[in-house]
Amino acid sequence: MRCYVNAGRGRPSDPEEQQERKARLIEAAHNLLTEKSFRNITIREIASEAGMQSAMISYYFGSKEGLFIALLENLSTQHFSSLEHLAESGEPLKGFIFATLEHLKNNRIMGRFLIDDIVGQPGPLGERFIELFPKRMRAFLPKLIAQEQALGRMRKDLNPHWAAFSLMNMLLMPFFAEPIRERAWDISKQDVNSPQWADHIYQMFIQGVEEK
């Protein structure tokens, strides 16, 4: 865990330094989410982790919630940037599955963050999450599936919207239902992080949707 204790604590005027400090606060928030829930993280803890004064969170993000919205925006940008060129690849759905599982593996905080602090909790944080992840995926994945249908690689009788939602359930559930997965099904974190698991998901999905 990186910590920036006693790094400069004033309000810098240099734009690059301001961006660097904002990035440090976002990184600190991400680090703390690996240890506790959003609700239990204090502004003081975030500032200490980043080596800044607590007032800097309000200065840069308006509030703790604003900081975590910025974290979600960063994660969304990273993930969807990795998907930009999939449509041009030979196996776009396989690439999508591997890229999405890699993102989930590298951001395991998202499962607990979603369940503990976003689902069922009204407010800007939950609304922004829906905009940044599920709605962006709704706009992206059905188009990718429709492209595969047009190329004759997937059954044309399938609703691409429903097929996309089904695939997302296959990808997300093992991460968001971790206690059940491990305690009832004896499927480990190492299992779902492996290339074999990604290929398993791909084979299960593609065998049900490919054109015979």
**CA–CA dist 58, 66 (Å, integer):** 8
Residue 87 structure tokens: 């449509």
Tokens encoding 1: 């865990």
Please state, in angstroms and rounded to a whole number, the distance separating the CA atoms of residues 60 and 39: 20
Per-residue pLDDT of the chain (212 residues; tens, 9 = 90+): 444 444 444 556 678 888 999 999 999 999 998 888 888 899 999 999 999 999 999 999 999 999 999 999 999 999 999 998 888 888 999 999 999 999 998 887 777 777 776 766 667 888 888 899 999 999 999 999 999 999 999 999 999 999 999 999 999 999 888 889 999 999 999 999 999 999 999 999 998 876 66
CB 154 within 8 A of CB 208: no
Angle of helix 64-81 versus helix 134-150 axis, rounded to 10: 10
d(CA 199, CA 201): 5
Do the Cβ atoms of 119 and 126 come closer than 8 Å? yes
Enter the pTM of the model.
0.82
CA gap 6, 4 in Å, rounded = 6
Q: What CA–CA distance (Å, rounded) separates 133 from 129?
A: 6
| Cβ atoms 59, 11 nearer than 8 A | yes
All domains of the chain in start order, with CATH: 15-62 (1.10.10.60), 68-209 (1.10.357.10)
